[in-house]
Structures are given as structure tokens and as C-alpha cells.
Amino acid sequence: MKKNQDSGPNSFEKSKMDAPKEIFLKDYKLPDYYFDTVDLSFSLGEEKTIVRANISVIPRVDGVTCPLVLDGVNLKLISVKINGNQLQEGDFELDSRHLILTSPPSVNFILETVTEILPQKNTSLEGLYMSSGNFCTQCEAEGFRKITFYQDRPDIMAKFTCRIEADKSLYPVLLSNGNLIEQGDLEGGKHFALWKDPFKKPSYLFALVAGQLESRDDTFTTCSGRKVDLRIWVPLVDLPKTEHAMYSLKAAMEWDVDVFGREYDLDVFNIVSVPDFLGAMENKSLNIFSSKLVLASPETATDADYAAILGVIGHEYFHNWTGNRVTCRDWFQLSLKEGLTVFRDQEFSSDMGSRTVKRIGDVSRLRTYQFSQDAGPMAHPVRPHSYIKMDNFYTATVYNKGAEVVRMYKTLLGSQGFRKGMDLYFERHDGQAVTCEDFFAAMRDANNADFANFLLWYSQAGTPSVNVTSSYNAEARTFSLKFSQTVLPTPGQPIKEPMSIPVAVGLVNSSGKDMPLSSIYHEGKLESVSSGGQLVYTTVLRVTKGEEEFVFSDVSEKPTPSLLRGYSAPIRLQSDLTDDDLFFLLAHDSDEFNRWEAGQILARKLMLHQVVNFQSDNPLVLDPQFVHGIKCIILDSSLDKEFIAKAITLPGEGEIMDMMEVADPDAVHAVRSFIKKQLAFELKQEFLNLVDENRSTEKYEFNDVNMARRALKNTVLGYLACLEDKETNELVLNEYKNATNMTDQFSALAAIAQKPGKARDEALANFYNQWQNDYLVVNKWFALQSSSDIPGNVENVRKLLSHQSFDLKNPDKAFSLIGGFRASLVNFHAKDGSGYKFLGELVVQLDKLNPQVASGMVSAFSRWKRFDETRQNLAKAQLEMIVSTNGLSEHVYEICSKSLAV
């Protein structure tokens, strides 16, 4: 596929429009036509569905005639009319992606189309398709064009009605966006429903569901007294598993009023759970979710599942304001809604549970997925400059780094300033499709803020590296922090500019207490830190230059600096803190995040050190000071137990590999396993005590105290299971047998499954027997096995592909088994190439069924250059094999070709 610079509806040429092309942000043009109202009518049939669309069209500039280009993919056009008159050949052109009306009226007109689509044949999970016998839709990003001909772009916002007609016994429930206006029976065993959405929306928020579903019903009264009907739709058998989802929805509705003053705006809010779905979708008043993000019971879902459901239900609900009421002008602005909404769901979950623990989880995710993306061939800015398939840009960068960018506004402006900015954003842009600059401008204008070069966070890819050196001058009682920053080149961006980086800093005195901060010299000026006589212990330094110094005055003793508190910017920080400083912060920092971080920095150093030992055939050793540090943490009863669980968890293998010149998965795996086992050995008694103290048979509850207890017990159990002795083996097995909820049962199973052997085989068989009829639990069982580090595991994974419970067409199953395999870095990067070969073959198979799922998998190859030559050649061979496959999707093509281009 060749790069095609030509884009935009004004410059169409038939031959060019037929070929796939790269789309550029700089080419954005206003649409030539707007749509005002859209009346859709569906006659649903599994094999064949007829879609009628009646659209009132308004030229952007009255009296100017230009072609109207409608998107359409896999559609059969039955008829097209303008103002009631059938168009003749010559009035329009049709290619595989468009319907082009060559010279439509230059004043308002009505466009009517009739198209035919084949839901049964649609395995892409995009457009209208069947999931377990029910009709459902997914339109983001560009799936509406698989339903009917349309200007399928988010700056086309229209008021929709949707009439659905279907067989009544097969599809008793008919849902779409907005309010139900009318319903009734029709001849031939059919019935219909008419839905009307009073809010203008882009086509990507359209949704339709039809099928045999039951609902859990509840109500929520908003702050202004509107009573909202809440319904969660699932197959009858799953109704008991919807309690937590309903709890989450109501909590989210309340939270958005409390924290952002945002009220729900319709009389009904529906959530539908379906087995075949990619994630979850915020369609106006009709959210659709993959079942695993809705269904939970104590016996079948883990604490992590409960937390994910809370977060995602919140996320999709919060989109109603950040995404739906105010949407994106074009898809390059995706982070405008996703970064902001991820930030909102993170804050929601923080307020519902432990803030520090949530932050640690979010930062770990950022480091694992976003940092590695930023360092590879797919690196792109939070607002990408170009794409071939937009679906490939629903990334950790757009979502998670985007959320960090929003968080930085809050860090810079404070809670109240941030809220003012949000209020102005909604005031200015409600009902509009806008850009990231509009969000920036609202934040700036509401606060009269000076945001020097902050917009670079949207346009410059790559993770900034910041280096800090400190010095204390006892005579002058000053403490200096010198910063320097660099951003490495990324594809298409060889030269980088310094970023604007908010660094939250506190100074800790020798007894471990925060010192009050008075003022700071910066660029020849003395600025007071405290405001209004209040003592201040943390201040935010704004680092905006390549090199910059900040000097704290009136510092009474040499402090230990606590840098980047709460992880105030998405950067890699290096400092001159010594190991002693870090152990001191681990023990004393008032910023809990930085306590955790100090431990992680120590662990990373320690692991890298041992990797060198391993590579030079020296014996591995564990620093006693580190063991002591861990011991202090687990014995500190003032700490949150879930925090302890996080603090004693070693950095992931990927994180360590990222810090190496040449990534060596075998060495990193050996070292991490060694340290884990050694810690278990040295702290065995403490760990055994922790298991005893934190075991409980009480009824499962999703709350902080209980979750923290389980997290600590199960983390420790994972350690103990590394030991070879009979006592611990029996203990772990008993934990498995006596578990009364999935969190405990699955953790114990995972602990047992670390070691190959009879106990493992029996436990896995036992677990499958117990849960074979619950596909969500079986997915966990698949993922546990596929992500296992046991040697040569690729063969087991291959066998599981033909397991009776597996189905490549279901994305959650595919991600569990095939996606899960990538999580074992030793096995995926096996030096014989068996892991690469396995994934390569499956990407090709998956691509034929579902390009979005396939491209999600293939990114595991992206960073092939990070490895030794043998691995490089093996991985490259797979990428080349995939790219040369006939009929490859643009999705997979885009990732593979960019990966090979480095």
C-alpha cells in the first residue's frame, strides 16, 4: 500500500478514493454538508437486514454545489433518493468505500437511502453483528459506515430517531439511544420499537440492540430531582451477577455530581452486556459492554474484576459529558475524550477506594504499556499526526498518557482551578465537536494561567527523561535541585524540544518529617512558596527548559528530597539519591506513592545488578539491606495492607528489560525468580504469619479493608509457593481447597501453577471441572495457563487452541489464550523462535476473522530491535511473513509495516 497524501472530500478522484490511505491531521477540512436529523429504520434479519436512512442535509455554505461523499463499507445499495426522487445512474458514483452524490442540491434537502447488510456474516465486531444470537452494534471509530451510507466523522452531529422491527419471539427486547417513543405488535409475529434521542450526536455513538435479554432495574434521582430508570440487560441466567454493576453505575452518577457538578440528562440509562465485544462503549444512553466488564459474583469474579467493573462502568458513564455532550472534532483528538475520561475514572476509583494503591496501579500500567510504546516504532503523540486505521490508535498513549496530561493541568492549577477550567470547558463547548486546544484554552482562560509550551504534551511523542542533582549549602541554608531533560527521537520526530514538566517536591528532614518550605530562587527571582500564611510541605516546580535550577531557601538542615510526588508527570526520573536515601524514603516519606517508588527504584537497581551477574556467570546474591527493607514494610502495621502488597511486589520483567542496552528475557526472568525465591526463603516465617493473620472465611465483600487483606495474603502466598518444602506446598494447596471466593481460589491456583508437576496438573483439572460452564471463569483458566513461565509452554498453549471451550472468534477468549501467552516474556521471546512462530501464525488466522483483535496482538512484535541478533531475525521473519499474507487487513498492515520500518 502506498502512502496517499490526497485526502478530504473536496479533492476526490475516484481511482484514488478506492485505495486505502494514510490520513493526516494537517489535512482536516470542515465538512461541506451538515446533517440535521437522521431517521433510521431497521428491518432486522440475521441473514439480511434492511436499513432505511432519511437524512436532512444542510450545505455548509448555501448555494455552493460540491459532491457529497458518504462513507459506506460492505453495504449493498438498494436505492437512493433526493427530495423523494430516485437518483439515476450518473447522479452518483459507488466504490468499495463510498457513495458519492455528484451534484446534490445547493440548499437543504432530504437524502433517503435503502441498504442491505448481512449481520450474520459480520465477524469484525464492528457495525451491526450477532453476538450469541442477539443483534448488537459497535460504531466507534468508523463502524457506522458498515450500517448505512453516512458522513461517518464525529463533527457531523445530528438528532437521531431509530425504528426497529424484528421477530417478537426471537427478539423480544429492542433498544436504541434516547427515549422509547412508541412500540407495538405487527403482522407475522413481528413487533417494533421507535426510539428518539433528543441530543445531537456523532454517528459513532449510535447503538442498537435486539434480543432475548432481561434487565435488573433500579432508579437514580439526580440532584435536580430527575428520576432516571437504570437498566442492566443480560441473558436471564446472568441477572444475579449484575448487582455490582448496578452499584457501580449509581456510585458513578453520584460522584460526577459531587466532583464535577455534572448531572445525567435523560430519563433512561441502559447497559447491555454481550459476550462478543471489544471492551465497552459509551453510546448515548445505551452503553454496551463485554460481559466480563459487567458480570460478577464473589464465587466467579476476583477483586481485580470487581475493581475493573467499577472503573469501566464509571468510565463509560462519565463519557456522557466528556465525549458525548462535548465530543471530538476529528479522530486525532481522541484523547480529548479518552484521556479526560480515563482521568475521571481513575479519580472515581481513587475516591471509592485507596488513592495511593490506585495510583500505583495506574503508574505501573503506564510504565508497562505506554513507556514501551513510546520507545518503539509505534510511538506517537497523545494527539497523533496521522493514521491508516484509527482503530490502531486506541492506545496506551492516547488513553493513559492522555490521562496523565489531564492530571498535570490539575497539578498545575490545583483542584479548584482545575474545576473552574472544566466548568468553562462545558460552558463553552456543550453540544460541540472540539479539539485538544479548546480544552487547553478553557483551562488557561478560566485561570489566567501561563502554560508555557504545555501544548507540546499533545504533539511530541516519547517519554521525557529528567535528571536531577541536588546539593545542600549549610552556610547559606540553601538546597539546590538542578534539572536537565531530554526526549529521545521517535519515528518522524528526530528533534525534540524541552517539555513543560510539573515536578512536585517535598523535603524530608533527618527524622523523617516533611520540612515546611518557604521560598525558592529561580531564574534570578525569589518566589514565596507558602500562600496565606499556611505552611506548605509540597510544592510544584515547573521545569520548562533543557537545564534549570531551583534553590530552596531557609533550609535548616540537609534534607532528603522527595521528588515527583504522586508521580506528578509521565517521565523517567533519574536522581543522585543514594541507596541510603532511598531506604530512608521507603521508610519515612509522607508521600505514600514515593515510598513505594523508592522501593521500586531500589529493586530495579538490584535486579539490573544481578542481571549483570547472571550474564557473566557469577552467582546471584540478594542484598541483606533489601531484605531488611522489605521486612520493615511487612511488619509496619500503620500501613495499608494493599499498599504493602504493592510495595513487596518486584518490578515486572518488561520494566527491567526496558532499562537494558540489549533486552535479555532469560537473564531478567532468572533474576526475578531468584530474588522472589530468596525473599520467600529469608522471610518465610513472617510470610507464614501474614497468611495466618489475613486468612478469613467471612462472606465476600468488595471493600477496601477486605480487598487489602486478600491482596496481602495472596501476594505473600505467591512468594511462599516458590519454596520447595512440603509445609508450604501443603499450605498453598489448602488455601486453594478452602477458598470461598474467586479471589482466593484463583490466587492459590496461580501460586500452585508456578511450578510444573502433578500438583499443578491436578489443580488445573480440578478448576476446569468446577467452572467449565462459566465461560468467564474458563477465560481466566486459559490466561493463567498461557501466561505461564514454565519452560516450553508454547506447546500447551497450542493444545488449548483446540480445547472445547475455546473459540477464536470471541475476542475475550482470544485475548485470554493468545494475548495471555505474550505476557510470559521468557516463552514469547524463547530463543528457538517458537513463541514468535506461534503468534505469527495466529495473527494471520485472527486477521481473517477480526482485524482489530489481530492488530492488538501483533504489536507484541513491535520492539524486535531491542533483542539480540538471533531473536531479531526470528521476530523479523514473522513480521515479514505476516506482511506478505494475501488479503491482509489495513489494521495489521499498519502495525507490521511501521515495525519493520525502524
How is residue 28 annotated by DSSP?
-
CA-to-CA distance for 819 and 799, rounded, in angstroms? 15
User: CB 661 → ligand TRP: shortest distance, Å?
Assistant: 36
Rank residues 269 and 394 by Cβ distance to ligand TRP and give the closer one.
Answer: 394
CB of 281 to Zn ion, least distance (A): 8
Q: What residue 305 binds from Zn ion, ligand TRP, none (CB within 5 to 8 A, per partner kind)? A: none
Q: Which does 539 bind (CB under 5 to 8 A by kind): Zn ion, ligand TRP, none?
A: none
Residue 762, number of CB atoms within 10 A of its CB = 12
Return the number of the residue (280 or 748) whose C-beta is nearest ligand TRP.
280
Looking at 247-373, which runs of residues are DSSP E strands?
268-274, 280-281, 286-290, 327-328
Rounded to a whole number of angstroms, the minimum distance from the CB of residue 594 to ligand TRP is 30
Neighbouring residues of 770: CB distance < 8 A, sequence distance ≥ 6: none
CB 792 within 8 Å of CB 785: no
Four-CA torsion 207, 213, 218, 219, nearest 10 degrees: 30
Q: Which is nearer to Zn ion, 215 or 341 (CB)?
A: 341
Cβ-contact 442, 466 below 8 angstroms: no
CB of 894 to Zn ion, least distance (A): 21
> Left, alpha or beta for 869 (phi > 0: left; psi -120 to 50: alpha)?
alpha
Report what 44 binds from ligand TRP, Zn ion, none; CB cut-off 5-8 Å by kind.
Answer: none
Minimum distance between the CB of residue 267 and Zn ion, rounded to whole angstroms?
A: 24
CB of 344 to Zn ion, least distance (A): 10
Q: What's the CA gap between 175 and 210, in Å, rounded? A: 6
Residue 433 near which of ligand TRP, Zn ion, none (CB within 5-8 Å, type-dependent): none
> CB of 141: closest distance to ligand TRP in angstroms?
5
What the block records as the C-alpha cell of 413 is 492549577
Q: How many chain residues touch Zn ion (CB under 5 A)?
A: 2
Among residues 280 and 763, whose Cβ is nearest to ligand TRP? 280
Residues with a known catalytic role = 316
| CB crowding 89-100: b at 16 or more within 10 Å, else e | eeebbbeebbbb
Identity of the residue, 165 or 391, whose beta carbon is nearer to ligand TRP in the bound complex = 391
- Give residues 211-250 in contact with Zn ion (rule: CB under 5 A): none
What does 719 interact with, of ligand TRP, Zn ion, none (CB < 5 to 8 A by kind)? none
Contacts 24+ apart (CB under 8 A), 795-798: 797/821, 797/838, 798/838
The least distance separating Zn ion from the CB of residue 269, rounded to whole angstroms, comes to 16
Cα dihedral sign for 318, 319, 322, 326? negative
Give the three-class secondary structure for 275.
coil
Tell which phi-psi region holds residue 374, choosing left (phi > 0), alpha (psi between -120 and 50) or beta.
alpha
Q: How far is the CB of 26 from ligand TRP (least distance, A)?
A: 23
Closest separation in Å from C-beta 105 to ligand TRP: 35
- The contact set with ligand TRP (CB under 6 A) reads 138, 140-141, 278-282, 315-316, 338, 391, 394
CB of 132 to ligand TRP, least distance (A): 18
The Cα–Cα gap between 249 and 147 comes to 29
For Zn ion, the closer CB: 395 or 715: 395
| Cell (9 digits) for 469 | 542533582
Three cell numbers, residue 567: 508521580
> Which CB, 338 or 589, lies closer to Zn ion?
338
Q: What is the DSSP letter of 383?
A: S
Pick the closer one to ligand TRP by CB: 394 or 440: 394
Which candidate, 740, 699, 645, 742, places its Cα nearest to that of 292? 742
Task: Please identify, using beta-carbon distances, which residue of 298 and 311 lies nearer to ligand TRP.
Answer: 311
- Contact letters for Zn ion, residues 340-379 (x by CB under 5 A): -x--------------------------------------
* Cα–Cα nearest to 55, from 194, 176, 149, 118: 149
| Residue 132 Cβ vs Zn ion, minimum distance, rounded to whole Å | 24
The Cα angle at residue 284 between residues 100 and 199, in degrees rounded to 5: 75
Angle between helices 869-883 and 834-849 (to 10 degrees): 20
What is the pairing mode between strands 501-508 and 539-543? antiparallel
Residue 281 site contact among ligand TRP, Zn ion, none (CB < 5 to 8 Å, cut-off depends on kind) = ligand TRP
> Of 424, 423, 420, 384, which Cα lies nearest the Cα of 401?
384
Of 403 and 442, the one with the shorter C-beta distance to ligand TRP is 403
Query: What is the Cα–Cα distance from 242 to 234, expressed in whole angstroms?
Result: 8
Contacted by 138, from Zn ion, ligand TRP, none: CB < 5 to 8 Å by type: ligand TRP
Contact 665, 314 (CB under 8 A): no
435/441 Cα distance (integer angstroms): 10
How would DSSP label each residue in 755-774?
A: S-SHHHHHHHHHHHHHHTT-
Range 794-823, binding Zn ion (CB under 5 A): none
Considering only residues 299 to 338 of the shown chain, the ones binding Zn ion according to CB under 5 A are 338
Strand order across the 560-563 sheet: 539-543, 501-508, 560-563
| Contact criterion met (CB below 8 Å) for 828 and 840 | no
Q: Considering the complex, state which of residue 337 and residue 565 has its C-beta at the smaller distance from ligand TRP.
A: 337
Element (H, E) at 352: helix 334-352
* Distance from C-alpha of 599 to C-alpha of 619, rounded to nearest angstrom: 23
Residue closer to Zn ion by CB (options 314, 506) is: 314
878 interacts with, out of ligand TRP, Zn ion, none, CB within 5 to 8 A per kind: none
Q: Which does 278 bind (CB under 5 to 8 A by kind): ligand TRP, Zn ion, none?
A: ligand TRP
- The binder of 234, among Zn ion, ligand TRP, none, by C-beta within 5 to 8 A per type, is none
Residue numbers of the site for Zn ion (CB under 5 A)? 338, 341
